Structure 1
Amino acid sequence: MSEVSIDIHRDGTEVTESLRRDVREGLSARPKWLPSKWFYDATGSELFDRITTLPEYYPTRAEREILARRATEITATSGMRTLVELGSGSSEKTRLLLAAGTAHGTLREFVPLDVSSSALSASARAVAAEYPRVAVHGVVGDFTAHLETLPGSAPRLVAFLGGTIGNLVPAERAKFLASVRAVLGSGEWLLLGTDLVKDTDTLLHAYDDSRGVTAEFNRNVLRVVNTHLGADFDPSAFDHVAHWDDCREWIEMRLAARRPMTVSIPDADLTVRFERGEYVRTEISAKFRPEGVRAELADAGFAVRRWWTDRKGRFGVCLAQVRD
């Protein structure tokens, strides 16, 4: 088993204060909203892992197909010495890159970053046991706030997979990509996974599965608010809704109140009233076109060196390099 170290940049106090700010702002807005990062306590991480195995949820399989075919090329092209994964979760797909990097002989360190300390700790130790020649340096943090803390020797490859960039609105994406560019040196790399625009039925089924796992995942954000801020949300009083916004080309996940209700959130000093049918937007998941991905990366200072899709053209992965 290789060496494992974990840096913690989000302790319990910081997490609670950040959640309190988001709850006050989001649940006082019209329409109401909550950031999707609050899905991911231990229960939420487990539910999302289940989602990735559902027959309707194609993104994980499509991205894995690309990585399985291209991991050796990614490793050889980048020459990565350090692999950084943002929003690492269980790091399942990343093992394809770890295996290729180990076989290539250049990879020395793996740096997973995740908001969930429990998920990060478990996956870091699993990777260390599986790849004993690769040092594992985990970071508990938020990829929108703690990128400057990322360790590792150059050349680094930052992997941002799963289409997670689609959870950011365009202005947030621009800020995020610029922040990644700012922490990378000349010639370093970004590996970006993007879900592509496709027929509406396929998209909606991916976010509203027949087994109801996505619905439970969506409602988990209310349980997180209950646990950390003493709220009295009844998650069963909210319907899970997946909505396709054709103009913005993104999926919105919503929680719609089944009845009028008043929710008390004492640790945020907030009382929230809901009309029947009123919703909270809990996630957006933007879908992309190749030319749009290239343009956003160029604006942030990256040049796309490789672009791949799965055989059905559902998902895109690009390898981009910092421009001098």
Structure 2
Amino acid sequence: MIIEDLMPEIGESSIKEKLVACLKSDPKTLPCMFFYDPAGSELFEKITKLEEYYPPKIEIPLLRSTARKLNSDLKDCNLVELGSGDCSKISVFLDEVPEEVRQTIVYYPMDVSREALEKSARILRKRYPEMGIHGVNADFLEHMETIPGNRKKFFCFFGSTIGNLTELRTMEFMRHLGDVMNSNDRLLLGVDMVKDITVIERAYNDSRGITAEFNKNILKVTNNHLGTNFNPDDFEHLAFFNKELSRIEMHLKAKKDLEITSPLLNESITFKRGETIHTENSHKYTVDHISKMADAGGLSLANIYADGKKWFSLAEMVKR
């Protein structure tokens, strides 16, 4: 088991500068990466178990059935999981791969969190002792060229994480990924599909208010870094489907006029009642969107594996 560390040192000063710049932008934003402090990660785990939050309930059985269909393509490959996080989804996938095929695989989880990589590697090493594991501590959006290229590669990008990127960033990502893929390398991409808007909006406005708590937690993280005086109770969770841009948008909406101060700022940051902080996007896709992503990477769309309602898909793409 190897963990290769390629992440640059990111000092607290850089984090503070990023947060200040986002809060001073027009419109105000906060990067969604700051959702995931320990409290935020715990809240997100609760979200995945909510009745209204459909993606995991569909993706998990879809991963099982798809893995069984792709067994022959996995033999003698480097299995690269982008943004691997915990090992829950890749475990579901690998459980359906015969042991004699797993013996020929080297699994490359790639994630910005070394802690998550180490924890996952320990679990997977125990679960699949026959399989090689080589963790890569890196940001796949910035360090695509570090992806190993000495064998056939099979990329996995699960959970519709790609939906958090802007359309421009998505196409840029696909081009970069295509550049590091060789002929006949494959990508299995999880995508949340366009569906009834009511279903989508319910998933981000759950009846127990856990998504709202998760959204507001980013203000506590900001307070911890900047010494600001944000009170989460002064903001309302707002999540809605932007039909024109085909995405859920999450915002925090000020309930009243506010003045936010910090010892790091020469002047306060003001909010008018009703003004928002844009915290996250989650794009939803059509088959046409998926085809355009494939084209951007110089890939052919080989298959789209979907549930019966076609709410979620795993798109299989092959490098031309």
| Same fold, TM-score > 0.5, yes or no | yes
1:124-273 paired onto structure 2 within 5 Å? 124-151=121-148, 153-267=150-264, 271-273=268-270
Q: Which runs of 4+ in 1 moved over 6 A?
A: none
Gapped regions of structure 1 (runs ≥ 5):
none
What secondary structure does 2:96 align onto?
helix
- What's the CA shift for 1:150? 2.8
TM (normalized to structure 1)?
Answer: 0.90
Deviation, 1:152, is: 6.5
**Offset at 1:270?**
6.9
Which residue type is aligned with residue 70 of structure 1? T
Distance 2:263 2:107 in 1: 41
CA deviations over 1:208-240 (Å, ceiling 9, x no partner): 111222112212222222223333322232211
TM-score normalised by length of structure 2: 0.91
Indicate yes or no: 2:251 matched with 1:281: no
Alpha-carbon distance, 1:188 to partner: 1.2
Query: What displacement does 1:6 show?
Result: 4.5
Native 8 Å contact 1:26 1:32 kept in 2: yes
Distance apart, 1:78 and its partner CA: 4.5
- 1:46 pairs with one of 34, 42, 67: 42
Aligned partner of 2:26 in structure 1 is: 30
In the alignment, is residue 86 of structure 1 matched against residue 92 of structure 2? Answer: no
Aligned amino acid, residue 3 of structure 2? S
Unaligned residue ranges in structure 2 (runs of 5+)? none
Q: Distance in 2 between matches of 1:33 and 1:72?
A: 42
- On the 8 A contact 2:154/2:185 being kept in 1, the answer is yes
Distance 2:280 2:149 in 1: 31
Tell me whether 137-146 or 243-252 shows the greater mean CA deviation.
137-146
SS at match of 1:49: helix
Q: C-alpha displacement at 1:268, in angstroms?
A: 7.0
SS at 1:105 equivalent: helix
CA contact (8 A) 1:257 1:275 kept: yes
Q: Kindly tell me: are residues 59 and 271 of structure 1, through their superposed partners in 2, closer, same or farther at Cα, counting changes over 3 Å?
A: same
2:60 partner letter: R
Distance 1:142 1:42, change over 3 A: farther
- Write the distance in 1 (CA, Å) between the matches of 2:114 and 2:240: 31
Q: 1:59 to 1:105 in 2, by over 3 A?
A: same
Amino acid at match of 1:159: C
- Does the 8 Å CA contact 2:238/2:252 hold for their aligned counterparts? yes
Equivalent position of 2:16 in the other structure: 20
CA contact (8 A) 1:20 1:268 kept: no
Q: Structure 1's 219 and 300: CA in aligned 2 closer, same or farther, altered over 3 A?
A: same
Shift of 1:163: 1.0
Partner of 2:317: 320
CA distance in 1 between counterparts of 2:209 and 2:34 reads: 19
Aligned partners of 1:40 and 1:154: how far apart in 2? 34
Is 2:303 the counterpart of 1:310? no
8 Å CA contact retained: 2:82, 2:111:
yes
CA-CA distance at 1:316 after TM superposition: 1.0
Evaluate the alpha carbon distance shift between residue 122 and residue 223 of structure 1 in structure 2; reply closer, same or farther with a 3 A threshold.
farther
TM-align CA RMSD: 2.2
C-alpha distance in 2 between matches for 1:151 and 1:222: 38
Report the more deviating stretch, 258-267 or 86-95. 258-267
Note closer, same or farther for the CA distance 1:253–1:237 as it changes in structure 2 (3 Å cut).
same
* Per-residue deviation, 1:127: 1.7
Report the residue type matching 1:73 in the other structure. K
